[in-house]
Structure 1
Amino acid sequence: MAMYLHEEHHIFREAFRKFLQKEAYPFYADWEKQGIIPREFWRKMGENGFLCPWVDETYGGFGADFGYSVVINEELEKVGSSLVGIGLHNDIVVPYIASYGTEEQKKKWLPKCVSGEIVTAIAMTEPGAGSDLASIKTTAVKQGDHYIVNGQKTFITNGIHADLVIVVCKTNPSANPPHKGMSLLVVERGTPGFTRGRKLEKVGLHAQDTAELFFSDAKVPAENLLGEEGKGFYYLMEKLQQERLIVAIAAQTAAEVMFDLTKRYVKERTAFGKTISQFQTVQFRLAEMATEIALGRAFLDDVIEQHIAGKDVVANVSMAKWWMTEMAKRVASEGMQLHGGYGYMEEYEIARRYRDIPVSAIYAGTNEVMKMIIAKHLGL
């Protein structure tokens, strides 16, 4: 049992699980076909206190600890990986506003982020810049009391639904080194010059709205600058620890779900006069998966505890992110194989899980970048 979870967290989990059993599980397959999570679901999440519960009571939240975020992300992942955009809103994007926003910005935006009236996104990736954030080309030139933003972003989670987009841009394109010219600007829905491209078709995460964003002389009020000009890169570095931890939590949960699906299937499926779970080769493969999953859970819980305690665990989070996503990919592959031909059928959940999990090794910093971070912390 995780030490950071107490009785109130378990009560909260039960309440959230009941909410999802009524409002998400029965509709998830339809959302996958429609290619988007309805806004109504976001509003229901907000009405029931499941969006950004950590936000201070002053702005409509409950001032809840990170343990509640862990519970929410785990339970959403159990429904399906396409709900990742809610975790992004709750624990990745909105924290930027809470940490770096002015009092006016917090009063204006946070209550609606909690209620579900506002959906958020963060726009880092560009067609020519992914892991190498400092090489982004999007610019924001100050003219009077506005910034004029030009550029393009891609692979943006919540890109269609987003009412607020935190855009990573260059306010000083000639800065040396380049990362010192980066800033964060909050671009609101309806901003002149801000348009969305098509909803991108992906291998997995079919119900998650991922989009391209375009800025053509977009006129953004100077008061929408988040924090200080030129500090954007440092703000991103401060927040990426939690972002990668959220990905690790989802991957670990997905592995646990896929293992349960597979174990249940092999105990029911018969071949050569007995259930396939009675074959030693199948037992060994399940034993290996169970071991990796148990190791992942123990390490993850330790990292979460340290994160809650406010410790700098960038290296450990990077380890958790790369190892758990790779482990979950192995579990998906083994799970599909042990399902046989049925594992390749869309009506079986393992097929969807197999499609959904690979991107976790790519977003929030590729696993190769995670290893670079670990190597740096090793003094290499």
Structure 2
Amino acid sequence: MTTLSDDEQFIVRTVRQFVDKDVKPVVRELEHADTYPEALIERMKELGIFGLAVPEEYGGTPVSTPCYVLITEELARGWMSLAGAMGGHTVVCKLLLKFGTPEQKQHYLPRMATGEVRATMALTEPGGGSDLQAMRTVARKSADGYVVNGSKTWITNSRRSRLIALLCKTDPDARPAHQGISILLAEHGPGLTVSRDLPKLGYKGVESCELSFEDYRAPLAAVLGGVEGHGFAQMMSGLETGRLQVAARALGVGRAALEDSLAYAQSRESFGKPIWQHQSIGNYLADMATSLSAARQLTLHAAREADAGRRVDMEAGMAKLFASETAMQIALTAVRIHGGYGYSTEFDVERYFRDAPLMIVGEGTNEIQRNVIVRQLIARGGLEP
């Protein structure tokens, strides 16, 4: 474990115990039935997991970014969906903390710290994908607020979240386009329809939905920070946290796959000895552990840089890119090690294999991460030692 305070180490251990005691015994049944984990979410509220990015003055239990990464890893080790249930929420907490008006902070953060109000982000549109500046969701200003029309898709937790950080255009004619983008703090109400839950390969239990805004009304005070036109830069800052969170989810999935593979390779015998003693399987395990350790160090490095106040879009992009590709490879290798059992729904390995691809395409595809990384390499004059 990275150098955490005694209090933070205790928090990580507490989450690990929650995963081992409460999550692992029920996750297979919940996941296969695609059942929303109500009891587990309530327990996460009790543990203070939804307040990890909220200062004490608002009732939260703030932790360092490395601690947040390790907590996310523990949750994803038990069930990646649980880490997803708090990912966007944490990003919105940080957006409010960094950019919100005093009134917005006081209105939302105390209830977000307890999980009474859970939040999500709404960025992606059906025809836009990663091209956020091409969005068509528009909020037109009226005398008493904004009238919003448009649609979003793949919005996690949107049916059960009471607050949505909605990225939209408040000035569609602005050039460059990003100067006309704002974040509206939207709550459920007339004009906002959660039209359907999208069917998914993995990432079961929590919902990912399509949202439709038809003459949805938001007050003037709903603009994050109170000033239009800063939403794109605000959200890009938030995505640094989001990408670290996705990297940490990948660590959790990869670690679960490695742990299951280690246990299986010691209990399963062939040709008179445990299969880990066969060089091909032993090499698999050694490579899995090595790549996972490298991914964790890369993610923790980005987390420490973030806490030092540095810009970490490149570092977070590297962590997300490498950790997600590592998790996918480890999950596939775990299937190989388990043989036919790795393809069986009676083992958890097949779940890891279905969950791992989400981190490759979520929070900005890995192709986008490579674009971010190379632009920063050019801007910074290379990779600093």
Match of 2:200 among 199, 202, 219: 202
Residue 377 of structure 1 and its aligned partner are, at CA, apart by 1.4
Q: Give the Cα separation in 1 of the matches to 2:104 and 2:300.
A: 34
Q: Show CA shifts across 1:137-166 (max 9, x none).
A: 000001111210000100001122111111
SS in 2 for 1:285: helix
Kept in 2, the 8 Å contact 1:184–1:226? The answer is: yes
Tell me which residue corresponds to 2:322.
323
- 1:1-380 matches, within 5 Å, as 1-3=1-3, 5-189=4-188, 191-227=189-225, 228-379=227-378
Q: Give the Cα separation in 2 of the matches to 1:50 and 1:142.
A: 36
Q: Give the Cα separation in 1 of the matches to 2:52 and 2:292.
A: 28
Q: Give the Cα separation in 1 of the matches to 2:366 and 2:334.
A: 22
For the aligned residue pairs, the C-alpha RMSD in angstroms reads 1.8
Task: State the TM-score, normalizing by the size of structure 2.
Answer: 0.93
SS in 1 for 2:24: coil
Task: State the TM-score, normalizing by the size of structure 1.
Answer: 0.94
Residue 332 of structure 1 and its aligned partner are, at CA, apart by 0.7
SS in 2 for 1:213: strand
Specify the code of the residue in structure 1 equivalent to 2:214: S
Specify the code of the residue in structure 2 equivalent to 1:2: T
Distance 1:90 1:69, change over 3 A: farther
Specify the code of the residue in structure 2 equivalent to 1:183: S
Q: Which runs of 4+ in 1 moved over 4 A?
A: none
Q: Is 6-15 or 230-239 further displaced after alignment?
A: 6-15
Q: Give the Cα separation in 2 of the matches to 1:65 and 1:297.
A: 16
Residue 21 of structure 1 and its aligned partner are, at CA, apart by 4.1
Q: Give the Cα separation in 2 of the matches to 1:242 and 1:352.
A: 25
Q: Give the Cα separation in 2 of the matches to 1:323 and 1:345.
A: 28
SS in 2 for 1:140: strand
Residue 218 of structure 1 and its aligned partner are, at CA, apart by 0.6
SS in 2 for 1:2: coil
SS in 2 for 1:147: strand
Kept in 2, the 8 Å contact 1:131–1:366? The answer is: yes
Q: Is 155-164 or 308-317 further displaced after alignment?
A: 308-317
Kept in 2, the 8 Å contact 1:53–1:68? The answer is: no
Q: Show CA shifts across 1:205-243 (max 9, x none).
A: 111211110000111112111122011111012121111
Residue 40 of structure 1 and its aligned partner are, at CA, apart by 4.6
Distance 1:331 1:363, change over 3 A: same
Residue 113 of structure 1 and its aligned partner are, at CA, apart by 0.9
Identity %: 35
Q: Is 252-261 or 28-37 further displaced after alignment?
A: 28-37
Specify the code of the residue in structure 2 equivalent to 1:195: T
Q: Return 5+ residue gaps in structure 2 as ranges.
A: 380-385
Residue 272 of structure 1 and its aligned partner are, at CA, apart by 2.5
Q: Give the Cα separation in 2 of the matches to 1:102 and 1:40.
A: 34
SS in 2 for 1:347: coil
Q: Give the Cα separation in 2 of the matches to 1:72 and 1:274.
A: 37
Q: Is 266-275 or 341-350 further displaced after alignment?
A: 266-275
Residue 22 of structure 1 and its aligned partner are, at CA, apart by 4.5
Q: Give the Cα separation in 1 of the matches to 2:331 and 2:210.
A: 29
Residue 335 of structure 1 and its aligned partner are, at CA, apart by 0.8
SS in 2 for 1:70: helix
Q: Show CA shifts across 1:173-212 (max 9, x none).
A: 11111111111011112x2110101111100011121111
Distance 1:188 1:288, change over 3 A: same
Q: Give the Cα separation in 1 of the matches to 2:318 and 2:69.
A: 18
Specify the code of the residue in structure 2 equivalent to 1:367: N
Tell me which residue corresponds to 2:383.
none
Specify the code of the residue in structure 2 equivalent to 1:48: L
Kept in 1, the 8 Å contact 2:173–2:180? The answer is: yes
Residue 123 of structure 1 and its aligned partner are, at CA, apart by 0.3
Residue 58 of structure 1 and its aligned partner are, at CA, apart by 2.1
SS in 1 for 2:50: coil
Aligned residues: 378
Kept in 2, the 8 Å contact 1:35–1:209? The answer is: no
